[in-house]
Amino acid sequence: MRAIPSLMAALAVLLAAGRASATEYEITNKAGIVYAEHDGSKLAGDLYLPKGRPKAPVLVAIHGGGWQDGNTRFYWYWGFFLARSGYAVFAIDYRLGKAGMYPAAVYDAKAAVQFIRAKAAEFDIDPDRIGLIGDGEGGELAALVALAADQYTASYRDDANAAVPANVKAVVAFYGIFDMLAQWSREQILHPHDNRVE
C-alpha cells in the first residue's frame, strides 16, 4: 500500500509538468449521481467537471479497499486536481463484500462507463475520450472493463444504458491485483491465522 502515494505523487508531477502554461479551470462538482441500480443497490458516483472546457476527456475512477471498504472520497483530491487541469473525473462506488463478489463489481464499473458515455452531451464531456483510473482492486476492475467488457453481458441487460459501448481509450492502474492465486498465497503467508471466508 505504500506504493500508492508514490505513484500518485509521480502522476501529479507529470501532470503539473505537462500543463506549465495550460489553463486552470474552475470546477463544478456533482455528488451522488446514480449511474445504475443492480440487485436493489443504487450505485452512485461523484462528478468533477472543468468549467468552460467543452468536450473534456473523462476518467472513471474506481477506488480500492480490498473489496471490503473504500468509497468515492478516495478520489476527492484527484477529482479536483484533474478537473482543474481540464480532465473530468467520475469517481464511483460499487458493491463491496459479499454483494461485490465476482463478477458483480465488474458489472458495476462497466455500467459507470456506459452511463458516462450516454450522458456525454449532458455533462459536455467527450464520449470518445474516456479512460479508467483505479487503485488496488479498483485497478483490477479497470483492467477487466478495459480488456474484457464484452465478456460481461449475461446480467443487467435491462440497464438503461446496457446497449451503450463500454470501450475506453486508456487505463491508469495503481497497485492492481492481477494474479488472484498469487495474492491469496501471499495473504496466507502474511496472515496464516486469518482464514475467514466472508
Q: What is the mean pLDDT of each run of 10 residues along the chain (198 residues)?
A: 51 51 86 97 98 97 90 95 97 88 93 98 98 94 94 94 97 82 75 59
Q: Where are the alpha helices (DSSP H) in 19-93?
A: 76-84
Q: Which CATH architecture has domain 24-190?
A: 3-Layer(aba) Sandwich (3.40)
Q: Where are the alpha helices (DSSP H) in 19-127?
A: 76-84, 104-118, 120-123
Hey, how many other C-beta atoms are within 10 angstroms of the C-beta on 69? 10
For residue 1, the model assigns a pLDDT of 47
The model's pTM is: 0.82
The closest alpha carbon to 134, from 182, 85, 90, belongs to 90
For residue 4, the model assigns a pLDDT of 52
Q: CA 138, CA 198: separation in Å to the nearest integer?
A: 20
For residue 194, the model assigns a pLDDT of 60
For residue 86, the model assigns a pLDDT of 97
